[in-house]
Amino acid sequence: MNGFHPRRRQVAVSVTGLIVLAVLWAMLWGDPHPGTIAAGVLIGAVTVFLLPMPRIGFHGRLHPWGAFVLLVKFHIDLVQASWQVSKLAFRFGYTPRGGIIGVKLRRANDLTMTSVAQISALVPGTIVVDAHRLTGTLYLHVLDLDLAGGAEQVRQDTLELEARVLRALAPREELERLGLVRARRRDTGKKEVSQ
Amino acid sequence: MNWSQLADVVAAILLLLGSLLTLVAGVGILRFPDLLARIHAGTKPQVLGLVLVLSAEALRVRSWPVLGMLIVVVIFQFLTIPVAAHMVGRGGYRTEQLDRDLLVVDDLRDDMMAATRAETKPPSYDD
């Protein structure tokens, strides 16, 4: 798709958006009847036309293995986070003492920052209070600093989360530059085939 | 015990666990000391609780259209709850709806104060 004229690419992107919206619509109605799909396409077209979204600038490639690891770890983290908050909620007579910690991400890219911010709201200990787009800094509120193992530990955990996000969707050169290539063997074989 | 009975038992367990987590979220919101801490209770146990309840429903109803619908609901929960939490947290922080005594560190205030200082200070060309 890279050789396309920029306007053509824009059209391709909104057609993808249209298809996604139509599929979502059909899934919500729970029935793939032609009428439902037609209505989905119509409503999707109106949505895409009236509420154009800014381009996200996705230059990477979805790495299936990285995405799988990210998803599995996210669900484990979600369970742990819920358990942690539950324990604190029933620890009567104890007041959690938190803090707001700034974490500077490696890659100040909209997609990476948004993904990390989204996921960090559901993993143990943190929610995003503020984000600084230019420096790529996330400000995370930690529910209980002692429980989270201190500010440094939170920074390290968040950077690990970012590494997982990058392994799932950053371009290969970027991963190499950041020294994040771990699953090398598995990927080189695949790269030849897919290109 | 056949498969559908097994699915029903698992669904019952998931339903109970999910309800329990929703209860925990409520207790957390009541018990935690300030806005930022309460958002934690309103995000994690609440989302997982809902996911468990919906999984229970999928196991009990066992129909593809319903499964598709539930998956869409879960995806939108994962997407919207963090955004909602962030908006409440950011608004609360900027309007000082928080208990400063409970914060051990606050990098955001430090950075914001540094930014304000840098803006108000007359530019110095020495450095």
Is A56 among the domain residues? no
* CB within 8 Å: B82 and A101: no
Which pLDDT value is given to residue B40? 86
Q: Is the pLDDT of residue B16 over 90?
A: yes
Q: Does residue A193 belong to any structural domain of this protein?
A: no
As a whole number, mean pLDDT of residues B12-18 equals: 95
pLDDT score of A136 more than 80: yes
Within a domain: A13: yes
pLDDT of the residue at A188: 46
Question: Is it the case that residue A185 has pLDDT exceeding 70?
Answer: no
Query: Does A173 lie in the same domain as A92?
Result: yes
pLDDT tier at A194 (50, 70, 90 boundaries)?
very low
Residue with more model confidence, B114 or B72: B72
Flag whether A55 is in a domain: no
pLDDT of residue A9: 54
Domain that holds residue A10: 6-50
Q: Which of B40, B46, B74 is the best residue to mutate to test the A interface, defined by the most A CB atoms within 10 Å of its own CB?
A: B40
Q: What is the pLDDT of residue B63?
A: 87
Q: Categorize the per-residue pLDDT at A91 as very low, low, confident or very high, splitting at 50, 70 and 90.
A: confident
A127/B43 CB distance under 8 A: yes
The single-letter code of the amino acid at A183 is A
Residue A191 pLDDT grade (very low, low, confident, very high; cuts 50, 70, 90) = very low
Q: Quick check: ipTM above 0.90? A: no
* Span B114-125, pLDDT tens digits: 777 777 766 566
**A121 and A160 housed in the same domain:** yes
Q: What percent of chain A is predicted at pLDDT more than 90?
A: 4
Which range is most confident: A49-58, A90-99, A164-173, B78-87? B78-87
Same domain, A39 and A118: no
**Residue A161 pLDDT > 50:** yes
Cβ contact (<8 Å) for A99 and B103? Answer: yes
- How is chain B classified by DSSP, letter by letter? --HHHHHHHHHHHHHHHHHHHHHHHHHHHHHSSSHHHHHHHHHHHHHHHHHHHHHHHHHHH--HHHHHHHHHHHHHHHHHHHHHHHHHHHHHHHTT-S-GGGEEEEHHHHHHHHHHHHHHSPP----
DSSP symbols for chain A: -TTS-HHHHHHHHHHHHHHHHHHHHHHHHT---HHHHHHHHHHHHHHHHHSPPPP----S---HHHHHHHHHHHHHHHHHHHHHHHHHHT-TT----EEEEEEE-S---HHHHHHHHHHHTTSTTEEEEEEETTTTEEEEEES-HHHHTHHHHHHHHHHHHHHHHHHHHS-HHHHHHTT----HHHHHHHHHHH-
- A190 falls within a domain: no
Residues 6+ apart with CB under 8 A from A86: B21, B24, B28, B45
Q: What is the pLDDT of residue B126?
A: 56
Q: Is residue A166 part of a domain?
A: yes
Interchain CB contacts (distance < 8 Å): A and B: 138
Task: Please judge whether B82 and A132 are an interchain contact, meaning their C-beta atoms are less than 8 angstroms apart.
Answer: no
Which sequence spans correspond to the domains of chain B? 3-120
**Distance separating alpha carbons of residues A1 and A28, to the nearest angstrom:** 31
A11 or A35, which is more confident:
A35
| B25 compared with A171, residue with greater pLDDT | B25
Residues A35 and A74 in one domain: no
- How many distinct structural domains can be found in chain A? 2
Q: Does A136 touch chain B (CB under 8 A)?
A: no
Are A86 and B45 inside 8 Å of each other by CB?
Answer: yes
What is the pLDDT averaged over residues B69-86? 89
pLDDT value at A6 more than 70: no
Do A23 and A74 sit in the same domain of this protein?
A: no
Distance CA A77, CA B8 (A): 27
pLDDT of residue B106: 81
